Amino acid sequence: MTGADKAKLPGWFIGTSGWSYRHWSGIFYPEDVKPDRYLEFYITKFNCVELNSSFYHLPRESAVKGWMNRTPESFRFCPKLSRFITHQKRLADCEDALRKYFDLFQDMKIKLGPVLIQLPPGLSYDGSLIRDFFDVLKGQHNQYRFAIEVRHASWISDDFFLLLEQYGVAFVIADSGNRFPYHEAVTADHVYLRLHGPEKLYASDYDRSELVQYAEKIMHWISTGHEIWVFFNNDFGGYAVKNAMRLREMVDTDLTI
């Protein structure tokens, strides 16, 4: 691959689902780094992170401003949509909740990757419901990009994938050790992967052969003009940071050949 060809490549981002893990001290974070400085260390190794905390509670404005000020211009955050919208409202009648959510990230848009929408395992496919939800997203929040992770097998359907293509929403390719359905589909100009662990959810390690397979897929998607987002969510034992750094090295090596 020539230098000119590499210059045309879209962005690719590999990181972890969150950074504020005290059990990474001594594994990833040096023991003399305090928790309130974890982000400053994290950005020396990765160019993106998922904001898992925004799923559980809305961040304070001061926290959002802090994330902006503490990270370089090239760094990207992928916030997870509030569980109030996805798990409690279950995508229905949530215009006000969505407005409140995105108002918080208004000044952070320049550093945002796709917004992650994770659906609950008990929510089955409803074409009318998801179409109405996407209409709100695209009608009122079209300055953001989106990726959706499903956890019920009924969503693995051509009808749903067609809807995703129509609205430009990425289908999240999620590996969760067979606990939730795994499927590969590219439905937008960005490809989004969440890797929760190949065996035990959140607590299993990807071996080299598994990472090579993902690296090969990523290279293929890059070659077809897609932007890539990959997040490891197997935080137990520091597997996430180890796997993310190894995968990044594999992709970076391939791109420089």
Instruction: Spell out the residues 6+ positions from residue 127 whose beta carbon is closer than 8 angstroms to its own.
Output: 159, 160, 163
Segment 142-170, tens digit of pLDDT? 999 999 999 999 999 999 999 999 999 99
- Which 3 state secondary structure label does DSSP give 172? strand
**Across residues 6-28, what is the average pLDDT?**
85
Place 177 in a pLDDT band, splitting at 50, 70 and 90: confident
Average pLDDT, the chain: 94
For residue 120, the SS3 value is: coil
pLDDT value of residue 6: 38
Q: Is the pLDDT of residue 27 over 50?
A: yes
Q: Compute the average pLDDT of residues 172-194.
A: 96
Cβ distance 120 to 86 under 8 Å? yes
Run of H or E including 240: helix 239-256
Specify whether the CB–CB gap between 97 and 82 falls below 8 A.
yes
From CA 167, how far away is CA 142, in angstroms rounded?
10
For position 255, what pLDDT does the model report? Answer: 80
pLDDT at 257: 64
pLDDT (tens digit per residue) in 42-98: 999 999 999 999 999 999 999 999 999 999 999 999 999 999 999 999 999 999 999
Which domains does the chain show, CATH number per domain?
3-256 (3.20.20.410)
pTM of the model: 0.94
Do residues 27 and 127 make contact, with C-beta atoms less than 8 angstroms apart? no
User: Which residue type sits at 29?
Assistant: Y
pLDDT in tens, 89-100: 999 999 999 999
